[in-house]
């Protein structure tokens, strides 16, 4: 279904408040799979200054109007106009009035998973960003806050559970006991995107929580029958999140009940509807046999994220969708901090930066680049991006680093205090921190307005005689769509000057920049920072803990990087040193291979440094695993930047992995075997770290003869999904003799667990084989696959297109053609999903000319399809622009 504003641009500069407020919303759902009746009673008030009788224009999307009345009287036909995509009351009264609208909708036919739809028989809603208008006509925008009361009626047998936002205030059953209803009331004013209702036959997992001030909260997680045991980890994560938000941000929960519902068909990860979060079941259900450690951390993070939205998103919401990062960036920052406190901070930081670089830096370097706060959009669903979420979180972190933890805490308190109940803007948010820190944050706003990843160049020189270290810093930002030139932004560069014994050197004076608490404030296009009293030649360790989302260009010699890898007190920069060494080598190797030559040899001192880290028992297992993992093919491609040959990159990376495996086979086998003594599975940081390290070692061993027996044994003896999947991946990726048998065994074991079968799809879709595309095509016809389920589609088509660059970017263009055809098929049913898959084309312009031409043909083929959703039209249009 096409939305009303298809193709139309929405601009931040055009923002106007609505002419009318909607104070209360009374909704009545008479549920039926193909013909649900929705009655909406809206208490409407003209805002101050609205002209008497100014037209009331409500949004709709594919709606069927049954009736409309004003203050209890049916509206005359000439008093309004209604189309599927809007309802206009020509001259409403110049006083408060009630509009009652009845619409009929078809949840069963709603495959877009936006609005009211059914997931395996359960009725559920998804209203962000513009799904509420698919339920009833409304002022469907985040700055219209109303108090909602929701009545749901359904046959008891079909939907014994009836849920909506807030507290249940009434319920009842018909005389014959076949039908029942429930009424829910949410006392907190909210925008329509936070509305939710659920009805179905679900099992309940219960617990409770006592808030800091002594309020008792009823905690409920609803899952499909039979999945109750798999929701205990999610419940535990919820209680830890609630406690943490009290301790870290002073935020208490505000209703008597908090509910989570897990559904199988969901377009994103989860949704923060007030008091009734709805989740993709992937982020709720976990058992050791079926979920990996990555799944457990995902659940912990997403449960926390949605819960934290209660304050950053719900109590304080966004004025308009341009301000999306106000809730998303801040809430990602909060969930990252939570996970850091629950687990290992450096390990969490490294994995967040890996995601940031893989997703956001890549997005920022291509045609889909946009500012953290965009100024124009055609389809808002396409702006739930790595830039808004992940770079948005980095900006909060950078702000905290610049103004300091105390001022940041005061600023947060002020924000909660001042804006509770508001629909706010980024300017409102920054004003709180400017006030709390006494600093001018106008320059910081540029971070929100400019797309592109700034590049910081750093060159150091040491004058032994003068005991002076001089650091020349400069920042530039590449042009992005619509923004050819950029202004400098304030960049916090956390640093240390590492002395010969590995400890940071003291300095007696600094000039050329503000330097506070080991942070250089780089605010100009270029600055020279001079450190006096430096006793020995230092190795600069810059951007510690990745203090800003920038590319750091510092051409340290290999010896200096090896020194940092061995000695930096900042664990992030130890890891980063290894990444930087590998990146330089992999770029050179890929260039040599692309030019028809062979890979240069991998530097022996680097290999032996990796061996030293691997064997260093003073280091966390998880950290050692991260250091051993080379930059991804996507990372290398982004570093190369243009005329990319993904086949050459894959070969360069494979060669380096093999060289490391061959050189360190004995060390790795010894470490692997010593870790093999089984301990009972626990999904905590220590257990996950041990498994990550052991599985990384297995990955290397799989490339050398030592892997042969070990892979099969690893698979057979696994008592958890993390280990079993690692072994399956190693077997399949190396084309080992046991691969087919293991794939068959895996399918057989988990055929009743769709989320586990998703992993079976991912392994096959990401295999580094020229047969992979054929396999993926064949698997789309597998009985366990369904184009209607987003998790299945992402596991097969998404994984192939996003996580297998060498095969997706096949030189014959068949990968592009497959994705284009799949998206064209999906678009009429689920445009959000189709558009998201097409994000895989975001790097097409960086390819070498042959591939570039083939990608363009496919993008143009999609663009020519009619009808085409606004979602896909927007993505393809921007890719081709």
d(CA 358, CA 803): 10
> What is the closest distance, in whole angstroms, from the C-beta atom of residue 792 to ligand TRP in the complex?
17
Q: Which does 127 bind (CB under 5 to 8 A by kind): Zn ion, ligand TRP, none?
A: none
The burial class, CB within 10 Å (0-12 / 13-18 / 19+), for 440 is exposed
Is 143 among the residues that bind ligand TRP (CB under 6 A)? no
Return the range that interacts with ligand TRP (CB under 6 A); candidates 25-33, 266-274, 704-712, 873-881: 266-274
Contacts of residue 555, defined as CB under 8 A and 6 or more positions apart, other chains included, come to: 459
Dihedral sign (CA 313, 319, 324, 329): negative
Kindly identify the residues of this chain, within the stretch 367-406, that bind ligand TRP according to CB under 6 A.
Answer: 384
| Site track 454-493 with ligand TRP (rule: CB under 6 A), x = hit | ----------------------------------------
d(CA 289, CA 720): 4
Q: Residue number with the shortest CB distance to ligand TRP?
A: 268
User: Of 310 and 846, which has the nearer Cβ to ligand TRP?
Assistant: 310
> What is the closest distance, in whole angstroms, from the C-beta atom of residue 132 to Zn ion in the complex?
17
User: Of 333 and 750, which has the nearer Cβ to Zn ion?
Assistant: 333
Q: Which does 267 bind (CB under 5 to 8 A by kind): Zn ion, ligand TRP, none?
A: ligand TRP
> What is the closest distance, in whole angstroms, from the C-beta atom of residue 397 to Zn ion in the complex?
16
> What is the closest distance, in whole angstroms, from the C-beta atom of residue 267 to ligand TRP in the complex?
4
User: Of 264 and 846, which has the nearer Cβ to ligand TRP?
Assistant: 264
Kindly identify the residues of this chain, within the stretch 297-356, that bind ligand TRP according to CB under 6 A.
Answer: 305-306, 328
- Smallest CA-to-CA distance from 448 within 469, 429, 471 is with 429
Find out whether 260 and 304 touch, Cβ atoms under 8 Å. Answer: no
**Number of residues in contact with ligand TRP under rule CB under 6 A:** 12
Q: Which does 283 bind (CB under 5 to 8 A by kind): ligand TRP, Zn ion, none?
A: none
Q: Which does 128 bind (CB under 5 to 8 A by kind): Zn ion, ligand TRP, none?
A: ligand TRP
> What is the closest distance, in whole angstroms, from the C-beta atom of residue 328 to ligand TRP in the complex?
6
User: Of 129 and 793, which has the nearer Cβ to ligand TRP?
Assistant: 129
**Dihedral over alpha carbons 565, 571, 572, 578 (to 10 degrees):** 20
Q: Which does 453 bind (CB under 5 to 8 A by kind): Zn ion, ligand TRP, none?
A: none
> What is the closest distance, in whole angstroms, from the C-beta atom of residue 277 to ligand TRP in the complex?
9
Q: Which does 126 bind (CB under 5 to 8 A by kind): Zn ion, ligand TRP, none?
A: ligand TRP
Cα 341 to Cα 244, 336, 471, 509, 624: the distances in Å are 9, 9, 34, 34, 20
Kindly identify the residues of this chain, within the stretch 111-140, that bind ligand TRP according to CB under 6 A.
Answer: 126, 128-129
d(CA 550, CA 453): 6
d(CA 393, CA 27): 36
Can you tell me whether residue 202 is helix, strand or coil? coil
**Dihedral over alpha carbons 837, 843, 845, 849 (to 10 degrees):** -100
Return the range that interacts with ligand TRP (CB under 6 A); candidates 19-27, 263-271, 647-655, 862-870: 263-271
Q: Which does 384 bind (CB under 5 to 8 A by kind): ligand TRP, Zn ion, none?
A: ligand TRP
How big is the chain by its Cα radius of gyration, in Å?
Answer: 28
Contacts of residue 364, defined as CB under 8 A and 6 or more positions apart, other chains included, come to: 387, 391, 451, 452, 453, 480
Find out whether 831 and 872 touch, Cβ atoms under 8 Å. Answer: yes
Is 270 among the residues that bind ligand TRP (CB under 6 A)? yes
> What is the closest distance, in whole angstroms, from the C-beta atom of residue 178 to Zn ion in the complex?
39
User: Of 191 and 687, which has the nearer Cβ to ligand TRP?
Assistant: 191
> What is the closest distance, in whole angstroms, from the C-beta atom of residue 271 to ligand TRP in the complex?
4
E strands of 35-141, at which residues?
A: 36-46, 56-59, 64-70, 73-74, 80-83, 86-89, 97-105, 115-119, 122-126
Q: Which does 858 bind (CB under 5 to 8 A by kind): ligand TRP, Zn ion, none?
A: none
Q: Which does 268 bind (CB under 5 to 8 A by kind): ligand TRP, Zn ion, none?
A: ligand TRP
Please give the backbone phi and psi of residue 676, each rounded to the nearest 5 degrees, phi first: -75, -20
**Number of residues in contact with Zn ion under rule CB under 5 A:** 2
Q: Which does 324 bind (CB under 5 to 8 A by kind): ligand TRP, Zn ion, none?
A: none
| Site track 323-352 with Zn ion (rule: CB under 5 A), x = hit | -----x--x---------------------
d(CA 733, CA 347): 26
User: Of 384 and 546, which has the nearer Cβ to ligand TRP?
Assistant: 384
Task: Tell me how many degrees the CA angle 236-240-246 measures, rounded to the nearest 5.
Answer: 150
Find out whether 470 and 461 touch, Cβ atoms under 8 Å. Answer: yes
Q: Tell me which of 3, 136, 267, 342 binds ligand TRP, using CB under 6 A.
A: 267
User: Of 193 and 668, which has the nearer Cβ to ligand TRP?
Assistant: 193
| Site track 77-116 with ligand TRP (rule: CB under 6 A), x = hit | ----------------------------------------
Return the range that interacts with ligand TRP (CB under 6 A); candidates 104-112, 270-278, 492-500, 752-760: 270-278
Q: Which does 270 bind (CB under 5 to 8 A by kind): Zn ion, ligand TRP, none?
A: ligand TRP
Return the range that interacts with ligand TRP (CB under 6 A); candidates 265-273, 447-455, 807-815, 838-846: 265-273
Structure-token match 């419940």, residue found:
235
User: Of 328 and 379, which has the nearer Cβ to Zn ion?
Assistant: 328
User: Of 251 and 494, which has the nearer Cβ to Zn ion?
Assistant: 251
Phi/psi-derived region of residue 517, left when phi > 0, alpha when psi is between -120 and 50, beta in every other case = left
Strands 146-155 and 97-105, by their bridges, are unpaired
Q: Tell me which of 154, 271, 398, 542 binds ligand TRP, using CB under 6 A.
A: 271
User: Of 32 and 192, which has the nearer Cβ to ligand TRP?
Assistant: 192
User: Of 126 and 541, which has the nearer Cβ to ligand TRP?
Assistant: 126
Dihedral sign (CA 494, 500, 503, 505): negative
Q: Which does 326 bind (CB under 5 to 8 A by kind): Zn ion, ligand TRP, none?
A: none
d(CA 95, CA 567): 72
User: Of 128 and 224, which has the nearer Cβ to ligand TRP?
Assistant: 128
> What is the closest distance, in whole angstroms, from the C-beta atom of residue 331 to ligand TRP in the complex?
7
Find out whether 261 and 284 touch, Cβ atoms under 8 Å. Answer: no
| Residues belonging to the active site | 306
Q: Which does 273 bind (CB under 5 to 8 A by kind): Zn ion, ligand TRP, none?
A: none
Can you tell me whether residue 221 is helix, strand or coil? strand
Q: In b/e form, how buried is each residue of 49-63, taking b as 16+ CB within 10 angstroms?
A: ebeeeeebebbbbbb
Contacts of residue 256, defined as CB under 8 A and 6 or more positions apart, other chains included, come to: 167, 215, 216, 217, 218
Return the range that interacts with ligand TRP (CB under 6 A); candidates 37-45, 82-90, 175-183, 267-275: 267-275
- Smallest CA-to-CA distance from 40 within 140, 142, 118, 110 is with 140
Cα 845 to Cα 76, 823, 826: the distances in Å are 56, 20, 24
Q: Tell me which of 130, 224, 245, 272 binds ligand TRP, using CB under 6 A.
A: 272
Is 277 among the residues that bind ligand TRP (CB under 6 A)? no
User: DSSP assignment of 329-391, as one string?
Assistant: HHHHHHHHHHHHHHS-HHHHHHHHHHHIIIIIIHHHTSTT---SS-SEES-GGGG-SHIIIII
The residues binding ligand TRP (CB under 6 A) are 126, 128-129, 267-268, 270-272, 305-306, 328, 384
Site residues (vs Zn ion, CB under 5 A) = 328, 331
């Amino acid at each position: 279904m096409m939305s009303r504003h298809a193709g139309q641009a929405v601009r931040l500069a055009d923002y106007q408040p609505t002419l009318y407020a909607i104070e209360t919303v009374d909704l009545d759902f008479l549920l039926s799979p193909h013909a649900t009746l929705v009655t909406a009673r809206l208490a409407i008030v003209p805002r101050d200054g609205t002209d008497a009788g100014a037209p009331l224009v409500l949004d709709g999307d594919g709606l069927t109007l049954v009736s409309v009345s004003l203050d209890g009287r049916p509206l005359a036909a000439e008093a309004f106009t209604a189309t599927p995509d809007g309802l206009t009351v020509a001259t409403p009264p110049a006083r408060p009035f009630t509009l009652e609208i009845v619409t009929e909708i078809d949840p069963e036919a709603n495959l877009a998973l936006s609005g009211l739809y059914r997931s395996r028989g359960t009725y559920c809603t998804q209203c962000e960003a513009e799904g509420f208008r698919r339920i009833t006509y409304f002022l469907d925008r985040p700055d219209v806050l109303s108090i909602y009361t929701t009545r749901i009626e359904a046959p008891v047998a079909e939907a014994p559970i009836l849920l909506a936002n807030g507290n249940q205030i009434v319920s009842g059953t018909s005389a014959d006991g076949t039908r029942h209803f429930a009424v829910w009331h949410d006392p907190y004013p909210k925008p329509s995107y936070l509305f939710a209702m659920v009805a179905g036959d679900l099992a309940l997992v219960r617990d409770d929580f006592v808030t800091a001030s002594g309020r008792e909260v009823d905690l409920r997680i609803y899952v499909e029958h039979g999945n109750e045991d798999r929701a205990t980890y999610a419940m535990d994560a919820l209680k830890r999140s609630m406690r943490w938000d009290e301790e870290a941000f002073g935020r208490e929960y505000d209703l008597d009940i908090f509910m989570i519902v897990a559904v199988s068909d969901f377009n994103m990860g989860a949704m923060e509807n007030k008091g009734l979060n709805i989740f993709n079941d992937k982020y709720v259900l976990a058992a050791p046999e079926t979920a990996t450690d990555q799944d457990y951390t995902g659940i912990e993070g997403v449960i926390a994220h949605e819960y934290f939205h209660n304050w950053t998103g719900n109590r304080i919401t966004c004025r308009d969708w341009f301000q999306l990062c106000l809730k998303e960036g801040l809430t990602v920052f909060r969930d990252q901090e939570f996970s850091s406190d629950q687990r290992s901070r450096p390990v969490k930081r490294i994995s967040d930066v890996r995601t940031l670089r893989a997703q956001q830096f890549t997005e920022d370097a291509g045609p889909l680049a946009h500012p953290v706060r965009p100024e124009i959009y055609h389809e808002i669903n396409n702006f739930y991006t790595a830039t808004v979420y992940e770079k948005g979180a980095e900006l909060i972190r950078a702000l905290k680093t610049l103004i300091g933890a105390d001022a940041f805490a005061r600023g947060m308190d002020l924000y909660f205090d001042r804006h509770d109940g508001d629909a706010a803007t980024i300017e409102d948010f920054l004003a709180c921190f400017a006030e709390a820190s006494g600093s001018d944050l106008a320059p910081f706003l540029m971070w929100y307005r400019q797309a592109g990843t700034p590049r910081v160049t750093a060159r150091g020189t040491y004058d032994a005689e003068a005991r002076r270290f001089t650091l020349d810093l400069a920042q530039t930002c590449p042009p992005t769509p619509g923004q050819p030139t950029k202004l400098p932004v304030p960049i916090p560069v956390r640093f240390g000057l590492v002395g010969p014994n590995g400890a940071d050197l003291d300095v007696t004076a600094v000039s050329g920049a503000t330097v506070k608490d080991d942070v250089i404030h780089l605010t100009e296009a270029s600055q020279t920072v001079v450190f006096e009293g430096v006793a020995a030649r230092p190795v600069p360790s810059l951007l510690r803990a990745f203090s800003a989302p920038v590319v750091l260009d510092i051409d340290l010699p290999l010896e200096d990087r090896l020194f940092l890898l061995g000695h930096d007190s900042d664990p992030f920069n130890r890891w980063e040193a290894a990444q930087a060494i590998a990146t330089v080598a992999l770029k050179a190797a890929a260039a040599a291979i692309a030019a028809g030559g062979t890979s240069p040899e991998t530097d022996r001192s680097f290999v032996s440094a990796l061996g030293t880290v691997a064997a260093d028992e003073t280091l966390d297992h998880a950290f050692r695993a991260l250091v051993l993992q080379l930059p991804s093919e996507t990372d290398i491609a982004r570093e190369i930047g243009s005329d990319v040959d993904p086949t050459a990159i894959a070969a360069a990376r494979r060669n380096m992995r093999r060289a490391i495996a061959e050189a360190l086979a004995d060390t790795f086998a010894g470490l692997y075997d010593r870790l093999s003594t089984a301990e009972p599975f626990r999904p905590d940081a220590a257990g996950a770290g041990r498994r990550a390290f052991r599985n990384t070692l297995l990955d290397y061993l799989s490339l050398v003869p030592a892997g042969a027996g070990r892979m099969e044994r690893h698979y057979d003896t696994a008592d958890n999904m993390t280990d079993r999947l690692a072994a399956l991946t190693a077997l399949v990726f190396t084309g080992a003799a046991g691969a087919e048998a293991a794939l068959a065994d895996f399918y057989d074991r988990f055929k009743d667990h769709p989320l586990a079968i998703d992993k079976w799809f991912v392994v096959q879709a990401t295999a580094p084989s020229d047969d992979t595309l054929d396999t993926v095509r064949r698997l789309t016809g597998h009985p366990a696959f369904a184009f209607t389920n987003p998790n299945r589609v992402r596991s097969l088509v998404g994984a192939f297109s996003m996580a297998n660059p060498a095969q997706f970017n096949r030189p014959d263009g068949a990968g592009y053609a497959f994705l284009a055809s799949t998206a064209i098929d999906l678009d009429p049913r689920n445009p959000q999903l189709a558009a998201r898959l097409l994000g895989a084309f975001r790097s097409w312009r960086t390819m070498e000319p042959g591939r570039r031409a083939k990608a363009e043909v496919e993008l143009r083929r999609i663009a020519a399809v009619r009808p085409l959703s606004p979602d896909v039209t927007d993505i393809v249009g921007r890719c081709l622009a």
